[in-house]
Structures are given as structure tokens and as C-alpha cells.
Amino acid sequence: MRLIGLARVTLALLTVAPAGCGKPNTDPDGTPPVPTPAQVPAPPTAAGPAAPAAPQATLADVLAADAKWWAATAEPRRASQEKQRQREADLAAALRKKKLPAGVPPEVVGEVNLYRKIPTGSSFGAIAALSPDGTRIVIAETDLSFTDKKRWNRVVDLLSLEAVSRFDVGDGGVIGAGVVFSSDGSVLATGRPNGQVSVWDADKGTLRNRVDVGGYVWSLAPFPDGTGWVASVEGSPVKIDATGAVVKTYGPRAVHASLATVSPSGSMVAAYTRSGSPGKPTGGITLWDASTGARLAEFERQGLSGIKLMFAPDGRTLYSHENDVVVAWDVPTGASRDVVRAKNMDVPELSPDGDLIAYYSDPELVLHHLGSGKQRRLRTKAYWPDSNPVFFPGGTLLATSSNSHFVVWDLALARPPKE
């Protein structure tokens, strides 16, 4: 493993979404979003000879700016989380009023039978996405007829169980990782193996734009400031703005990147990368400056080839999933350590507070506390989980799907002990 320090230039992300791309970027309750380091405008300069180029920043500079952002936004982030937790408490209370089948585990607060909302001749796939306020889910369905094997994504309101919208992702839409809400929940982006990324109106299900990004779309991840998404494309990650236009490329086409993610402050993009000869590829994780595309660092590990990357809330730890192991990477130094091992581990998820890892393992739902190392294993005949777990944004609820049932778990009851 080695860490390569590289350069970047000053952050300069757009702070206003392009016209016609949806509602202004706000918290789900209408309050302005927490500003990110990239949203600090540069001071005006006086007319005259061009100033010398500013010294190129290092990874340490980026992390120092992130630390200041973390401290400066502590109070608005806390207030936003409190509002989200209250929304989740209201949702849990409403779900508890609905009758549950006999034998439901006590940790379950509600379930939705998705078969009731999917027409005959279609098959439920998985939970594709959860809205930023936790009130809507996107479910994937496939037409099972021999003449028209198409795929759709359907936005469903969790309380009314009514479909809000439905949009066609064609005959090869990426299910799950390739369906992502914008930060305000008004827009959805979907990816396809043929290299297309589509931007949809989440309320109407209408197509806003479609762009060819030039390679297989592995996944999509939103930027926290609402300026778009990073798409993991066969070759290199790209940034797509809220209109669907490609505005930034991270690394050369030969980088062979996959499964990119964005740091909580929006200052960095991380992705799995591979290089070397075809017979002896070298795996690694590369960090880029999100606004300039400059490469900041590279973490290498023999045989590294994962299916998930997750930043801790403060952006100083990056978790990767590879070969039934979750690895924690110290971003400042590149040092790595194994933190979770499990047989047949499916795709893990990190809780919003960074304390828990949730994953499936033959076929239990496992909650692992990163601090104490203690676990809770949840399994019943009726609720064998079969798709990725999804934490609600406030961190008080967890969603899973099993046999076409959407299940909501109360983390106050299911969470493993801290000590």
C-alpha cells in the first residue's frame, strides 16, 4: 500500500443549479442547505495585470478546509438532523398504526406489500432508492412478458402506498446503484449499461434530459450541494450536472474506474481504479478534487477490487468492501485496516452517524457497531432480506426488502450496544 500526494487547484463548484433543473436546493423542510467548502465565493479582484497562479493545494489542504467546514456547520447540521429524526419518528408512528402480519419481529415498525402496487405480469426487483426526506421509495419492476422485457422505476409514497410517478428505464436499466435522487428529492438520475444517463422529474416521471457518457454506467452518487451526480463510467468517473450535461471528467479514459462516491463536504471524489498489465492488474482507490478534476491521492492494495465505497461523515475515513471484508482507510495517511469480516457478505451500508455497518450474510441482516465491534443479527422465516439495506437519513430507521415486502426497522431496538 502506498499513498501518492498529488496536486489540485482552488475549489470553485457552482452553487446554483442550472435553470430548469428543478426546485432550488433546500432541505426537505424548505430551509437552505448546509453550505459546503466549495460554495464559498472567491473575493473580487481589482483590474490590472494577472496575479501569479496560486500555489497548488495538497490533500492536506483539502482536509484542513474540510475540518473548518465541519466545525463551522456543526450547528446547522445538528438542527437539520433533529428535523429529519422528527420526520422519521412521525413516519414510524404512522406505520405502527397499520396492522402487521403475525410473527413480525419486534424491531419492525412497518411493512409494505409491494405486490399490491405492481401490475400483474411484472416482477419486483429491489429497493432502488430512498428519498432524502425518507418519505418515498423507488422500486424496480420488470415486465415478464416474452414480447416486451422492459424495466421501470416506480416512486411510491410510504404512507399512502400510492405511486407518485413511474418512468421507463428501457431494456437494460441499472437497478439499485444506478437510481439516485437529487439532494432535494425533486429529480432522479438513472444509468444504463449502454452508457446513457437520464435525468427525470421525480413527481411527474417525465424525462428532462438524456446524455451518453461513453461507457457502462456502474453507479451514480449525488453531490451534497445539489449540483449534480458523479457517474461511475467504464473508463473514468464523470460529473453530470442537474440538467444531465457532463461537466467534469476525473482521470484519463484508461483509468478503469468504478463505483465512485463523493465526500460529505463535496470536496473529493473517490473511485476504485485498476492499472497494470491485463494479466497482473493492480487495484487501488483514487481521490480527485471534485471541482477541478485534479488527482489528490492514490491508495494501493494488492488485488483490491471492491463493490462499495463509503466516506465517514467527517470525510477522514473511507470504507471499502472487498471479498467479504470491510476495510477502513485513513484518508490523510492511506493506512488501511480490516474492520468487518463475514462469510458471503453482501453490499454493506454505513449509517449516517458513521457508527454502524449494515449488511446481509447468509441471509441474516447484520448490524455491526464499528466502535465496540458488537453485532445484532436479525432473521425470521418471513423476513429473509434479499436486497441492500438502506439507512434513513436521520439514522433512526433502516429499510430492507424481502420477497416483495418493504420492511422498516427501528434502530433504537435493533442497534447493537456501543460498549
Domain boundaries, the chain: 59-410
Q: At what angle do helices 59-72 and 74-96 cross, to 10 degrees?
A: 60
Digit-coded pLDDT (tens) for 271-313: 988 765 455 456 689 999 998 889 999 998 765 667 789 999 9
- Rounded to whole angstroms, what are the CA distances from 200 to 24, 61, 152, 415? 16, 37, 12, 35
**pTM to 2 decimal places:** 0.81
- Burial class of residue 120 (count of CB atoms within 10 Å of its CB; 0-12, 13-18, 19+): exposed
Digit-coded pLDDT (tens) for 293-302: 899 999 987 6
Per-residue pLDDT, 254: 52
| CATH classification code of 59-410 | 2.130.10.10
In terms of average pLDDT, the best of 77-91, 261-275, 401-415 is 77-91
Q: Which residues of 375-403 are buried (b: 16+ CB within 10 A; e: fewer)?
A: bbebeeeebebebbbbbbbbbbbbbbbbe
In terms of average pLDDT, the best of 46-50, 197-201, 350-354, 380-384 is 350-354
Q: Nearest 5°: CA angle at 288, between 284 and 293?
A: 135
Per-residue pLDDT, 34: 57
